[in-house]
Amino acid sequence: MIKGFKDFLMRGNVVDLAVGIAIGVAFTSLVAAFGDNFVKPIVASVGGGDADSKGFGFQITDSDATFVNLGGIVNALIIFVVTMAVIYFAIVVPVQKLQALRKPGPGVDEPEAVPEDTALLREIRDALRQRPPV
């Protein structure tokens, strides 16, 4: 999966990259809602949090400002992985399959165009061969 995504990005096609970014931005609100309403409560419950707690994490001092929210980090990581997986499987894989279908098969190669100087040299060679020996 990572190799395919890397190949997609390294191809240098700006249009494909722009489409991926636009869809990723549009997908952000959906993923944020999924994270806030589904993943965060699960992570908080694993951390032993109740309705009044801050969630999964620890507090360095008595101040609320020193609370280290590990649940937020886990939530961001899960959202990142889900976003990348959806973008890869919904955009990259279909685009690669479409491009593979558009490529001509191995037997459909067109003859390679010969440069003009090479063609002229071949004509001179052929003319010299047809000339009677001196």
pLDDT tens digits, one per residue of 85-106: 887 888 888 888 888 888 776 6
CA dist 126 and 75 (Å) reads 75
Residue 80 within a domain: yes
Structural domain of residue 40, as residue ranges?
Answer: 2-103
Express each pLDDT in 68-88 by its tens digit: 777 778 878 887 888 788 878
Residue 128 within a domain: no
Q: Is the pLDDT assigned to residue 51 strictly greater than 60? A: no
Instruction: Look up residue 119 and give its two tokens.
Output: 């063609």
Q: What is the mean pLDDT of residues 39-67?
A: 70
CATH code of the domain covering residue 60? 1.10.1200.120
Half-sphere exposure of 59 (CA within 13 A, CB side): 8
Residue 131 within a domain: no
pLDDT band at 126 (very low <50, low <70, confident <90, very high): very high
Q: Work out how many domains the chain is built from and give that number.
A: 1
Residue 68 within a domain: yes
**Across the chain, what does the average pLDDT equal?**
77
Residue from 39, 104, 33 nearest 78 by CA = 39
Residue 119 within a domain: no
Instruction: Look up residue 44 and give its two tokens.
Output: 């908080």
What CA–CA distances, in Å, run from 88 to 16, 34, 61, 96?
A: 12, 18, 42, 10
Residue 129 within a domain: no
